[in-house]
Amino acid sequence: MNAIQAIQATAATSDMVLKSYVGDLSDEELLSRPHPGCNHIAWQLGHLIAAECNLLNMFKPGAAPELPAGFAEKHSKDTTGDDTPSNFLSKDEYLALFDQVRAATRAALDTMSEADLDRPNESERFKKMFPTVGSVCILTASHPMMHVGQFVPIRRELGKPVVI
């Protein structure tokens, strides 16, 4: 297994865990918060999708699909307190967008060489923490895992079974 294959495998594992944790949740349950002040699952799914588009365009400019108008804004830091159901998508819509963005990320990785992973990250905002294209790719693959831990307390509160 080479580095690009390892990144792809990491993304696949992240996808499997995320989808396992939301698979039996209703659209209404996506608006559940693990704790007051924490983001609900619907917002987190939208954040993951919008963030991946930004990260993908960092290492492969123009590769990210276009999101629906206003999508990124509805899932920005300014909207973390919003609990209005009509401002969020259904689970199926989030997962379809997630899959579309992940497919674009996989396609971009498939065009890269391992040497590409060593190129510097040109993003002023992220290059200190993620200095190379490879480190941005690893972040992209693992970002869902940073959020799914917040889904577990919600699942427990809702009486959902352990899925993994």
- Give tens-digit pLDDT for 101-127: 999 999 999 999 999 999 999 988 898
Predicted structure pTM score: 0.96
Is 88 within 8 Å of 42 (Cβ atoms)?
yes
CATH number, domain of 88, equals 1.20.120.450
Q: Which residue has the tokens 């992220």?
A: 126
Res 124: pLDDT: 87
Cβ neighbors of 52 (< 8 A, separation 6 or more) are 64, 101, 102, 105, 140, 143
Is residue 21 a part of any domain in this protein?
yes
163 falls within a domain:
no
- Domain ranges, residue 23: 3-157
Q: What is the mean pLDDT of residues 14-33?
A: 97
Distance CA(72)–CA(80), nearest Å, equals 12
Q: Is the pLDDT assigned to residue 141 strictly greater than 90?
A: yes
Decide: 58 and 121 in contact? Cβ < 8 Å: yes
